């Protein structure tokens, strides 16, 4: 499989880009990697890059977007931060990826058993981590069940995963609210903004459409 060129990128639509990621995750789950020569892709992308998707994911070592979607060099912009939330710098990176570099899809990718989500559920305090986890707290507060405080912590994995899912949805809301550039592109049909959840037990990505 060759690296994307300006010409192949131009053929990508938001839906086609989403389908590519779904197909890639299917290959990943079945251990059927696309046939790529990565060194050849290094050479092919040396004069430019033409990715089709921008993916925001967690820093978790088990959730590399390139691997779980079976993509090669030059295929996706990968933005990673613990808890996969947005801030002005990340929004600026997304705007660059879509408006200037031509990607057709923005994916906010959460995952099960997320350590950052667990930390927010437990109200963890540690240096700069304290302020970072505060950005995830709205997702914790948005999950109203269980009401019993003893069940609203990292020991309750159902609660943790529900918070993870809500965090993805709130992040998408924040992208649309805080980036007029991306909101306009989505409104015009130039891009899609979608959420997804990666299951660390199975390798499956479920998209929220």
Is position 89 annotated in a ligand binding site? no
Q: Which residues pair with 57 in a beta bridge?
A: 80, 109
* CA–CA distance, 110 with 165 (Å, rounded to integer): 7
Q: What are phi and psi of 64, to 5 degrees?
A: -85, 120
Is position 111 annotated in a ligand binding site? yes
* CA–CA distance, 116 with 129 (Å, rounded to integer): 9
Is position 148 annotated in a ligand binding site? no
Q: Which residues pair with 105 in a beta bridge?
A: 53, 192
What is the length of the chain?
A: 209
Is position 4 annotated in a ligand binding site? no
* CA–CA distance, 133 with 121 (Å, rounded to integer): 9
Residues that constitute the known binding site: 58, 60, 111, 114
* Residues contributing to the annotated binding site for Zn(2+): 58, 60, 111, 114
């Amino acid at each position: 499989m060759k690296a994307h060129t300006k010409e192949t990128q131009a053929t990508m639509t938001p839906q086609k880009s989403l389908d590519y990621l779904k197909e890639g995750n299917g290959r990943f789950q079945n251990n059927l990697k696309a046939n790529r020569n990565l060194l050849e892709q290094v050479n092919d992308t040396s004069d430019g890059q033409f990715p089709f998707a921008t993916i925001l994911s967690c820093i978790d070592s088990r959730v590399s977007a390139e691997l779980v979607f079976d993509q090669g060099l030059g295929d996706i912009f990968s933005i990673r931060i613990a808890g996969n939330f947005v801030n002005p710098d990340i929004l600026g990176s997304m705007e660059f990826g879509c408006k200037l570099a031509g990607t057709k899809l923005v994916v906010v990718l959460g995952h099960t058993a997320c350590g950052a989500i667990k930390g927010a559920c437990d109200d963890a305090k540690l240096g700069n981590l304290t302020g970072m986890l505060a950005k995830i707290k709205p997702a914790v507060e948005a999950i109203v069940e269980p009401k019993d405080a003893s069940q609203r912590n990292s020991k309750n994995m159902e609660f943790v995963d529900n918070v993870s899912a809500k965090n993805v949805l709130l992040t998408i809301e924040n992208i649309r609210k805080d980036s007029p550039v991306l909101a306009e592109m989505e409104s015009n049909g130039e891009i899609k903004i979608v959420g997804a959840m990666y299951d660390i037990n199975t390798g499956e990505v479920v998209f929220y459409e």
